[in-house]
Amino acid sequence: MNFVAGSTSFSENFSTSVAIIGAGVAGLYAAYCCGLAGIDCVLVESLATSGGQCLALYPDKRTYGIPGFHDTKAKEFIERLSMQCLCYPKKVLFNHKVENILKGSENAFLLETVNRQLGEKFNVHSRYVILATGIGDMLPNIPQTISGLDKIDKSSDFIQHSCMRLDLYKNKRIVVVGGGDSAIDFAIDIAKVAKNVMLIHRRDRFTCETSKLDIVRELENSGKLNLSLEHNVSELIEEGEKRKVVIKDKNQILTFIETDHVVFCLGFIVNCSSLLGLKKLGLKIENDLVKVNVDTMKTSVDGFYSAGDVVTYPNKKKGIVQCFFEADRAIRSIKSEILGVVLCNSI
């Protein structure tokens, strides 16, 4: 089954009960919940495929914490999730970026979208909105203090920021930078195909699940993985075929590591400001994240809901299971609004 965009081109506007913005895990599952609740929806996604971060940033990495998907690569998980969810929306608009959201008459929202391939503008009218734009425009965090960054050719594949293609790393020397879950996940997966992996972290311990540390130790003992703790990357050098990562310890002592690729796993810089109109609508936004009531996933604007990585509430944790929970809650809240009943939260 193919989930990429066809030659979608529209001249007319489109009306629906629920407009879902973003076809990552949260948006996909919101579409599924709409289907189960008998509510019609339109799903709008700026990329050519569904899957959001999972497919765009770590398709070959195994996903953790999803019941029933043990040892499953992100791309396999997304394929199955897409198959489950994409049959429900009455329209799926891939390659359509929502550029602006306005509140029109009779409490309806107007989403102004543009087709990224064809440049055509297209409007979606809806009574409810689910904002599921995740981390928005995804900019990898590569510290700009590293020397030599500006000298690396733009077309060079020296610097990587996600595990897009494990085959790129086959039998190569790889440096992975970071100390969180994604750095450890990538290092473990890459170590299985690479000649060797050097994992560099600025602190003396990792902030990942304890069970993963056992795998790291095993790979270290078998010589597939080397650790350089309490080191920072200070310079990147690319001279013809020769590529080096220069690291520095707390005593300013430099070490030169010859490598083929350096993979930065230091998170992403969030940019949700590309979506105009959110603040103008009256949405409460904190550190680029949308504030919601976790009981209902309602934002501060009537009829406007949000789910997934783009939201914030006390003790919010980012993750796939959280996307399911939040999308389900949002659609149940909308259904109760449509039916004019108060949600029953009894246990």
Q: Which of residues 73-102 bind ligand FAD (CB under 6 A)?
A: 97-98
Q: Residue 27: which of 328, 333, 339, 343 has the closest Cα?
A: 328
Cβ-based nearer residue to ligand FAD, 146 or 323: 323
Residues forming beta bridges with residue 98, ordered by sequence position: 113
Q: What mask, x for binding ligand FAD by CB under 6 A, covers residues 158 to 187?
A: ------------------------x-----
Regarding 278 and contact with ligand FAD (CB under 6 A), the answer is no
C-alpha 276/C-alpha 37 separation (Å) is 30
Give strand pairing partners of 233: 247
Of residues 306 through 325, those in contact with ligand FAD by CB under 6 A are: 308-309, 318-321, 323
Per the CB < 8 A criterion, the answer to whether 45 and 94 are in contact is yes
Q: For residues 243 and 329, which CB has a smaller minimum distance to ligand FAD in the complex? A: 329
Distance of alpha carbon 330 from alpha carbon 311, whole angstroms: 12
| Binding window for ligand FAD (CB under 6 A); candidates: 33-41, 60-68, 219-227, 339-347 | 60-68
Contact 139, 268 (CB under 8 A): yes
Establish if 48 lies at the interface with ligand FAD (CB under 6 A). no
Structure token digits, residue 109: 């929202």
Q: Is the dihedral of CA 319, 324, 328, 330 positive or negative?
A: positive
Cβ proximity to ligand FAD: between 150 and 286 the closer is 286
Nearest to 309 by CA among 298, 299, 294, 320: 320
Which of the ranges 46-54, 118-126, 193-201, 237-245 carries the binding residues for ligand FAD, by CB under 6 A?
46-54
Q: Binder to ligand FAD among 20, 33, 135, 175 (CB under 6 A)?
A: 135
Amino acid identity of residue 266, one-letter, is L
Q: Can you give the binding site for ligand FAD, defined by CB under 6 A?
A: 21-27, 44-47, 52-54, 57-58, 63-65, 97-98, 132-136, 182, 275, 308-309, 318-321, 323
